[in-house]
A and B are shown apart, each in its own frame.
Chain A
Amino acid sequence: MTGVQLRNLGIRYGQVEVLKGIDLDIPPSEFIVLLGPSGCGKSTLLNAIAGLQDVAEGQILIGGHDMTNVEPKNRGIAMVFQSYALYPRMSVRGNLSFGLKVAGTAKPEIEKRVANAARMLQIEPLLDRRPSELSGGQRQRVAIGRAVVRDAGVFLFDEPLSNLDAQLRSDLRVEIKRLHQRLKSTMIYVTHDQIEAMTLADRIVVMKDRIIQQQGTPDEIYNKPANTFVARFVGSPAMNFLDAAVEGGDVIVDGKAVRIASTLSSQSPLADGRKVIVGIRPEALLLHTEEAAFGLEVEVDVVEPMGAEKLVWCKRGSIGISAKTPASVTLKPGDKAWLGLPEESLHIFDADSGKRI
Chain B
Amino acid sequence: MTTKNGLAPVHRNAYAAPLSRALTYVLLIAIAIVVLIPLYVMIVTAFKSMEEIRTGTLLSLPHALTFEYWSKAWNSACTGLRCEGLKVGFVNSVLITIPSVALAIAAGAVTGYALSFWRVRFANVLFTVLLIGGFFPYQVLIYPLVRITSTIGLFNSLAGVIAVHVVFALPVVTLLFRNYFATIPIDLFKAARVDGAGYWRFFFSILLPMSVPMIAVAGILQVTFIWNDYIVGLVFGGINYAPMTVQLNNIVHSTYGEREYNVEMAATLLTSVIPLLVYFTSGRWFVRGVASGAVKG
B194 touches A52 (CB 8 A): yes
Judge whether B276 is part of the interface by a CB distance below 8 angstroms.
Answer: no
B206 touches A89 (CB 8 A): yes
Contacting A79 at CB < 8 Å: which of B194, B197, B206? B194
B190 touches A85 (CB 8 A): yes
B96 to chain A, nearest CB (A): 32
The answer for the CA separation of A52 and B194 in the assembled complex, in Å, is 8
Chain A window 69-85, contacts with chain B (Cβ cutoff 8 Å), 1 for yes, 0 for no: 00111000111011111
A62 to chain B, nearest CB (A): 13
Judge whether B192 is part of the interface by a CB distance below 8 angstroms.
Answer: yes
A102 touches B196 (CB 8 A): yes
The answer for the CA separation of A189 and B135 in the assembled complex, in Å, is 48
The answer for the CA separation of A158 and B205 in the assembled complex, in Å, is 24
The answer for the CA separation of A50 and B187 in the assembled complex, in Å, is 12
- Which B residue sits closest to A47, measured CB to CB? B190
Across the interface, which residues of B come within 8 angstroms of A83, CB to CB?
185, 187
Chain A window 119-144, contacts with chain B (Cβ cutoff 8 Å), 1 for yes, 0 for no: 00000000000000000000000010
B195 touches A98 (CB 8 A): yes
The answer for the CA separation of A82 and B195 in the assembled complex, in Å, is 17
Judge whether B288 is part of the interface by a CB distance below 8 angstroms.
Answer: no
Which positions 186-206 of chain B face chain A at CB distance < 8 Å? Answer: 187-188, 190-197, 201, 205-206
Chain A window 48-65, contacts with chain B (Cβ cutoff 8 Å), 1 for yes, 0 for no: 001110000000000000
Q: A102-B195, A102-B197 are in contact. Are A89 and B209 (CB under 8 A)?
A: yes
The answer for the CA separation of A71 and B188 in the assembled complex, in Å, is 17
Q: A81-B187, A87-B188 are in contact. Are A73 and B193 (CB under 8 A)?
A: yes
A96 to chain B, nearest CB (A): 10
B190 touches A102 (CB 8 A): no
Judge whether B210 is part of the interface by a CB distance below 8 angstroms.
Answer: yes
The answer for the CA separation of A314 and B177 in the assembled complex, in Å, is 58
Q: A85-B185, A102-B201 are in contact. Are A52 and B193 (CB under 8 A)?
A: yes
Judge whether A249 is part of the interface by a CB distance below 8 angstroms.
Answer: no
The answer for the CA separation of A301 and B205 in the assembled complex, in Å, is 60
B210 touches A88 (CB 8 A): yes
Q: A82-B187, A98-B205, A102-B201 are in contact. Are A87 and B194 (CB under 8 A)?
A: no
A264 to chain B, nearest CB (A): 47
Judge whether A21 is part of the interface by a CB distance below 8 angstroms.
Answer: no
- Which A residue sits closest to B190, measured CB to CB? A52
Chain B window 139-154, contacts with chain A (Cβ cutoff 8 Å), 1 for yes, 0 for no: 0000000000000000
A85 touches B191 (CB 8 A): yes
A89 touches B210 (CB 8 A): yes
B201 touches A72 (CB 8 A): no
The answer for the CA separation of A102 and B195 in the assembled complex, in Å, is 7
Contacting A81 at CB < 8 Å: which of B191, B197, B201, B210? B191
Q: A98-B205, A102-B201 are in contact. Are A85 and B195 (CB under 8 A)?
A: no
- Scoring B190, B192, B194, B205 by chain A CB atoms within 10 A of each residue's CB, the highest score goes to B194
- Which B residue sits closest to A81, measured CB to CB? B187
The answer for the CA separation of A72 and B193 in the assembled complex, in Å, is 6
Judge whether A103 is part of the interface by a CB distance below 8 angstroms.
Answer: yes
The answer for the CA separation of A82 and B205 in the assembled complex, in Å, is 22
B196 touches A79 (CB 8 A): no
Chain B window 205-221, contacts with chain A (Cβ cutoff 8 Å), 1 for yes, 0 for no: 11001100000000000
The answer for the CA separation of A98 and B209 in the assembled complex, in Å, is 14
7 additional contacts, CB 8 Å, given A87-B206, A89-B206? A52-B193, A71-B196, A81-B187, A81-B191, A99-B195, A102-B197, A146-B195
